[in-house]
Chain A
Amino acid sequence: MKMIRRAILALSAAAAVAGVLRLRGQGGVPPQTGGWRELSTRPR
């Protein structure tokens, strides 16, 4: 019983930390757009 309580406590703590990070963190979003396009040789 004691072990189960510890496991639940550990999982809860981990979920809480993950939740905080999830809410507060900006996160890195992989590029969803873009790709290769024809190269322009005109000056920019």
Chain B
Amino acid sequence: MRGWKVKRLIMSAVPLALAGCDTELSALSPAGPAAAQIAWLWWGMLAASSALFLLVLVLVAMSFGAPRDVPARRWTHTLGVGFSLAVLSVFLAAGLWVGERLVPRGAAAVEVRAHAFQWGWRFTQPGPRGMVETHDVLHIPAGEPVDVIVTAEDVIHAFWVPRLAGKIDAVPGRQNRLRLQADEPGRYAGMCAEFCGVGHAIMPFEVIAHPSEDWPQAVTATARDADSDGGEQ
């Protein structure tokens, strides 16, 4: 009945194996091209925004002097419309440029499925003998683009592996596609990012990127499909 409570206990008692890495959920330590592009976008925007913020502060500070006669249009038209449109155009261009690179175009080599439920994940991925279903662990090959087809069983959840890519919602009745890629083999933490009820905080999962020569042979070896303790009721 109250499976999520049991799960919560287990979660807090047994820290995940990948704990220890300080930035396992950090969007700022990307491990794949999608996350890397976004991280660069962030650093660029941060620099530009800091400069703009300083500009405004300086202008405000300079007002505390003798009255100065600046034509009104210079404030409202030149700065308000012209300058801000110019800056925003640069932002927009950067956003569209990065966005173009994140869109799944054409077929990816590998397609896996992520199905979210209250409160856990069921992943379906290629294994050595056909498709393999796992709980809370997703296996992908490293160095290759992977398309994740995200669906939901009950309410809205969101699939998010911050070091690999942005998030996408799991919406009942819809299929969403997210393209991600892990540059190096390893374990990457993921979680549910859309509030989904009392178990929202305990919906983490793991993406294991295998060296491409091991994949998909290695999938069953590490599949934790026995791990169905908490999820379904």
The reply to whether chain A is a binding partner of chain B is no
B residues touching A (Cβ–Cβ < 8 Å)? none
